[in-house]
Structure 1
Amino acid sequence: MDDDIPTRMFYAGRRWQVTDMPTRIRDSVWATEPGTGRGFYGWRFQATDETGESFVFDVYPGAEGWHVHHCYA
């Protein structure tokens, strides 16, 4: 993270560099208590590995660090 914005990560045994402007995912997407507005927040961004393969990732913070919720090819 640079200034609280994702810039790189290690996932699935590979190093990934964020290659677009990350979008913050708000509470309304991952609410832990429906209807209350309280819940997770996360980020959606495209990242590229050392071989040039790119995916879009949805990530969120957990007690043990950041987690990949979903990735899109």
Structure 2
Amino acid sequence: MVFAGRRWRVTDTPTRLRDSIWAAPFEESRGLYGWRFQATDSDCQSLVFDVFQDADGWHVHHTYD
């Protein structure tokens, strides 16, 4: 994955996210879902990512240190 100009590699088991973490109610989000996973870059920095897919492709919703 490329994020913020750096390449990241998933380094743990992704967890599927359901509508409960998104701001919009499930009915409005039309089945919005995503994944949470840890990824590490070439400098060994790791972040946790929340990503979601919509009609335009995959998007990073939030990152955690």
Report TM bin, short chain. 0.7 to 0.9
Runs of 4+ in 1 over 2 A off after TM superposition: 27-32
Matches within 5 A, 1:1-73: 9-30=1-22, 32=24, 34=25, 36=27, 38-73=30-65
TM-score, normalized by length of structure 1? 0.75
Segments of structure 2 that go 5 or more residues without pairing to the other structure are none
Asked which structure has the greater RCO (Cα within 8 Å, sep 6+), the reply is: 2
Aligned residues: 64
Please tell me the root mean square deviation across aligned C-alpha atoms, in Å. Answer: 2.0
TM-score, normalized by length of structure 2? 0.84
Segments of structure 1 that go 5 or more residues without pairing to the other structure are 1-8
Identity rate of aligned residues, in percent? 67
Q: Which has the higher helix share?
A: 2
Q: Which has the higher strand share?
A: 1
